[in-house]
Structure 1
């Protein structure tokens, strides 16, 4: 059974940095991400963006050790799935089960912490990613990924604590030790 790929691989007129897509996201967080997806968002305002797609595909894709990259949006999907894994591992490593407010602070800090991007020596998947063309592109990619990570952390918290009990969902936390492609973005 093959892994699930991004439906945004075939989006026209999407900027790429290196060989990774810079896709629009729905967010209130300031950053360089393009807003909306043109006609798609005008006709379907509730259309899923890459963050929704990441959260929907995370649990199914985290069971796979191999993932065939079929386009530039898949490269972004991989980075975001690995970030979700790191988020769950961070919450699972706490001494006590974190409340929603505490988890929100922890994941927001993780999202803005310094992290490697493609081309950096300690980036886990350099063999599959092209280095940004110049320093300006690298800085743009870092800012974009920071914004996307912050939005992803916020939406992950909403899903983890959706039941209102104040504890994270056991159906999500069961994946805290599972590693997509046996990789991690963390040190």
Structure 2
């Protein structure tokens, strides 16, 4: 059984989290600019959940969505596998962080665009402003995920083999 997000639909309703295209704009512990509200407490956010559950979730070929936040789990898990592939060739943390910053800002498709591998999971944006908001939220998520992943992978100055060993693993048999 795959691990799902603690940010279920009830949580999103209680906290009045904005949902666009079926994606909740959850608060993040970040200094990166973007549409996500800044989380001020030390509780886990969606990026912490993805990194914590990554090693278990990456082995699944199916993933049943239980909440809107699970869409972010799926997307960010695929993004972490893409990041790890890049980190497999990088020898230090500074290089990894700069590579992750470039990867976060690189062009990527959204739901409704050709080449988006998760169209079955995500709704199409209703208009261009929703598409721009989701794109900027994904950039913010990708940037924060890359930074935190680099901190975990390069704790001792070089790449941790227990993270890098997942470079060839495909979550849901998909790639971003």
TM-score (norm 1): 0.88
> RMSD value over aligned CA atoms?
1.1
1:20 paired residue among 17, 20, 23: 23
How many residues get paired? 172
Q: Conserved in 1, the CA contact under 8 Å of 2:20 and 2:134?
A: yes
Cα offset, 1:23, TM superposition: 0.8
Gaps of 5+ in 1: none
Distance 2:125 2:97 in 1: 31
CA displacement, residues 16-63 of structure 1 (integer Å, 9 cap, x when unaligned): 111111111010111111122xxxx6xxx2210000001001110001
TM-score (norm 2): 0.94
- Residue correspondence of structure 1 range 1-187 to structure 2 within 5 A: 2-10=1-9, 11=11, 12=13, 13-36=16-39, 45-92=41-88, 94=89, 97-162=90-155, 164=156, 166-185=157-176
CA displacement, residues 86-134 of structure 1 (integer Å, 9 cap, x when unaligned): 0001222x3xx42111111111111110111111111101122110111
Runs of 4+ in 1 over 4 A off after TM superposition: none
Distance 2:84 2:147 in 1: 13
